[in-house]
Amino acid sequence: MRLSGKTVLVTGAASGLGRGVATYFASHLDCNVIALDMGKEGLSTLEQEVGSDRIAGVQADVTERESVASALEAGVERFGAIDVCLNFAGVVSPVHIVARDGQGVELDRFARAVAVNLTGTFNVMAQCAGYMKRNREDENGERGVVVNIASAAAFDGQVGQAAYASSKAGVVGLSLPAARELARVGIRVNCIAPGAFDTPMLRSVPATVVDRIVETVQFPKRTGKIEEVAGLCVHLCENSYINGECIRLDAAMRMPPH
Ligand SMILES: NC(=O)c1ccc[n+]([C@@H]2O[C@H](COP(=O)([O-])OP(=O)(O)OC[C@H]3O[C@@H](n4cnc5c(N)ncnc54)[C@H](O)[C@@H]3O)[C@@H](O)[C@H]2O)c1
């Protein structure tokens, strides 16, 4: 899909990777961006930074059907369509299977990770697909592109990541059947599993844990850069032959158990 003139929905756009990618698409490409997040303040500073002619902040909770429906409606009213959906909204939600304080099973924390990371991704993708299938197909028969954001934790989840890792493994598992189902309406679905990127989410993890993770990064031996995620999103949109795929973006990092 050629991105020039297209409208891109980015969730989790108030912070970290989603914010950086939303800024990249609005500033470096000829795209309109619908920036969706729960965080109102982050969205308004984003609009100020990028310029509200190119970006529309819409507040919504990805776990709620009606909340997302109203936000997408407002975005489409503003820019006329949704061509690309980039699902960055996510939460960490550390969980121990046997709770350390003896309080019992941490079911709420587990359910929260699944609700935001997996159900939220499904909710936004499904509602965006409803808009995309109305788009006129391009010269390749394409009407839309979805990129879901999983994590390296989907493959090498650490102790304490039972909720996060399994919710992200769900995102990987979601993407192929979605690509297969949406193929008939000309929508491609791919998935990125990022390694370690320096964002507020990574900063919420204890520094000793992050150091041990970054130690397993092979080359280049550093955390990832926003433009490396943005660049892969652009490629997944532009390369029509990549479909139903999950790509690890982690410089050959493999996370240790702790
Ligand atoms: N930073 C990393 O190293 C890393 C690694 C692997 C995967 N990821 C994934 O990348 C994505 C972005 O992570 P980040 O590091 O930028 O995190 P972040 O915490 O900086 O940003 C996450 C954003 O999601 C939003 N969000 C959370 N729950 C929401 C909800 N219910 N509805 C709407 N918005 C909601 C938050 O408000 C926040 O703006 C996440 O899905 C994360 O799991 C990040």
CATH number at residue 122: 3.40.50.720
* Range name among 50-54, 55-59, 79-83, 101-105 with the lowest pLDDT average: 101-105
Mean per-residue pLDDT over the chain, rounded:
96
Any domain includes 33: yes
Owner of token pair 């919420």: 204
SS3 string, 114-138, reads HHHHHHHHHHHHHHHHHHHCCCCCC
Any domain includes 210: yes
Residue 247's pLDDT is 98
Q: Which of 37, 121, 171, 191 to mutate to test the pocket of ligand 1 (most atoms within 8 A of CB)?
A: 37
Question: Measured on CA atoms in the order 122, 209, 37, 46, is the torsion positive or negative?
Answer: negative
pLDDT digits over 52-76, tens only? 899 999 999 999 999 999 999 999 9
Angstrom distance (rounded) from CA 14 to CA 59: 10
Any domain includes 52: yes
Report the candidate in 50, 255, 61, 87 with the shortest Cα–Cα distance to residue 167: 87
Q: What share of the chain has pLDDT > 90, as a percent? A: 91
Distance 137 CA to ligand 1 centre (A): 31
Residue 253's pLDDT is 97
Tally the domains of the chain: 1
* Range name among 18-32, 95-109, 151-165, 174-188 with the lowest pLDDT average: 95-109
Rounded to two decimals, the pTM is: 0.97
Main-chain phi, psi angles of 59, to 5 degrees: -90, 130
Report the candidate in 155, 151, 137, 147 with the shortest Cα–Cα distance to residue 205: 151
Residue 254 confidence class, pLDDT cut points 50, 70, 90: very high
pLDDT digits over 4-27, tens only? 999 999 999 999 999 999 999 999
Q: What is the three-class DSSP state of 144?
A: strand
Domain limits at 101?
Answer: 7-249
Q: Is the pLDDT of residue 100 over 90?
A: no
Amino acid at the residue 81 = A
Any domain includes 1: no
Amino acid at the residue 130 = G
Residue 52's pLDDT is 83
pLDDT digits over 26-55, tens only? 999 989 999 999 999 999 999 999 998 999
Distance 185 CA to ligand 1 centre (A): 29
Any domain includes 2: no
Residue 82 confidence class, pLDDT cut points 50, 70, 90: very high
Angstrom distance (rounded) from CA 136 to CA 148: 23
Residue 143 confidence class, pLDDT cut points 50, 70, 90: very high
Beta strands 55-59 and 84-87 are: unpaired
CB-based pocket (< 6 A), ligand 1: 11-12, 14-18, 37-39, 42, 61-63, 88-91, 116, 120, 149, 151, 194, 196-197, 199-202
Sequence-distant (6+) residues with CB within 8 A of 46 are 13, 14, 19, 22, 23, 35, 55, 57
Q: Is the pLDDT of residue 101 over 80?
A: no
Give me the mean pLDDT over the 135-158 stretch.
97
Any domain includes 208: yes
β strands within the chain, DSSP E: 7-11, 32-37, 55-59, 84-87, 144-149, 187-194, 246-249
Residue 205's pLDDT is 87
Residue 126's pLDDT is 98
Residue 209's pLDDT is 87
Beta strands 7-11 and 84-87 are: parallel
Any domain includes 185: yes
Distance 216 CA to ligand 1 centre (A): 22
